[in-house]
Structure 1
Amino acid sequence: MKTVKVTFLALSLFCLLGVVKAEKPKNRTVFTMKFSISSFIDADTRGLCNGLANIINDNAKFTMMRGDQLISCNKKQIVNYLEKLRGIQQNCTTSYDVIEAADKYALIKVVMKYPAFTRFNYVTMNECSDGWKITNVNSIFVK
């Protein structure tokens, strides 16, 4: 439980700290759904952040429940937070399932199993002009 509290505290502090300029793609690379969700999972769980800002929509919203409190972050805050964790691998196993997919919409459930709890990320993705981008992530934690 202490680990969960520390994790929540660290995430909330980093979400509220400074902002990093998000880079735009320099070329017209078109990102597939699989590439975008895999890149996001790699950044979140393995600290592999190269190109992270390119697969997140500029208006993306990230929310997480901490007890009864809802914490919200925007793209710049989450990219900044994950960049600070660059190279740090989380102590979890990760899997994902596409719950729903339509022409330009997908809802993906990402499961991150830690020794003491499980984190569920519900990731909404939309196909934009330069490929699939993350537009919303809702996170919950279960013991």
Structure 2
Amino acid sequence: GAKATKANVNLSTADFALEHYVAVTTAGESAGVEQLFAADFNQKIQTTNALSNSRSEVVKSFKKQKGEKLNCTVSTDILEESADYMIAKVTLKFEDFTKTDLVTLERVGNDWKVSKSINSYK
């Protein structure tokens, strides 16, 4: 069979990395998932019992969602940006609820990585 090659996704700017993160989280994009998340990535979900997911759990779950597109409208706002750091608010509006994802991206060498994600639901 064909040997799976590690997709090389362009993460050279914070905007590219954020765009790719949105594609991974909402459109079932699975290329470059490993590259996208920083080694110390952590995801927190603000619910009645705050949940926390490790990098490996998140990567595994996004790989499982390959090809699945979420039925929602997506908007992104850059809240803060510097040469090595960006905080963005990604809002997913579904029919019955809204998910807000505060995403922290950091420059790691020549690439940008997602280092933190905090989700809340309304």
**Shared fold per TM-score greater than 0.5:** yes
Instruction: Say if 1:48 and 1:26 are closer, same or farther in 2 by CA, change over 3 A.
Output: closer
Instruction: Say if 1:117 and 1:123 are closer, same or farther in 2 by CA, change over 3 A.
Output: same
**Matches of 1:50 and 1:30 in 2, distance apart?**
12
**Matches of 2:29 and 2:11 in 1, distance apart?**
20
In structure 1, the partner of 2:91 is: 111
| Residue type at the aligned position of 1:103 | A
| Paired residue total | 116
1:121 maps to 2:101: yes
Percent identity for Structure 1 against Structure 2: 22
**Matches of 1:90 and 1:61 in 2, distance apart?**
22
In structure 2, the partner of 1:63 is: 44
Q: 2:79 aligns with which of 82, 99, 102?
A: 99
Q: CA-to-partner distance for each residue in 1:68-103, whole Å, 9 max, x for gaps?
A: 101111111101001111111111010101100112
State the SS of the aligned residue for 1:42.
Answer: helix
Unaligned runs of 5+ in 2: 1-5
Q: 1:130 aligns with which of 96, 110, 122?
A: 110
In structure 1, the partner of 2:18 is: 37
**Matches of 1:32 and 1:60 in 2, distance apart?**
18
Q: 1:19-38 alignment to 2 at 5 Å?
A: 31-38=12-19
**Matches of 1:117 and 1:130 in 2, distance apart?**
37
In structure 1, the partner of 2:3 is: none
State the SS of the aligned residue for 1:69.
Answer: coil
Larger strand proportion of the pair: 2
| Residue type at the aligned position of 2:44 | T
Instruction: Kindly state the Cα deviation for residue 31 of structure 1 after the two structures are TM-superposed.
Output: 2.3
- Alignment TM-score, normalising by the size of structure 2: 0.88
Q: Note the aligned Cα RMSD (angstroms).
A: 1.6
- Alignment TM-score, normalising by the size of structure 1: 0.76
**Matches of 1:134 and 1:87 in 2, distance apart?**
21
Give every structure 1 segment of 4 or more consecutive aligned residues whose post-TM-superposition deviation is greater than 2 Å.
none
* 1:111–1:120 CA contact under 8 A, matched in 2: yes
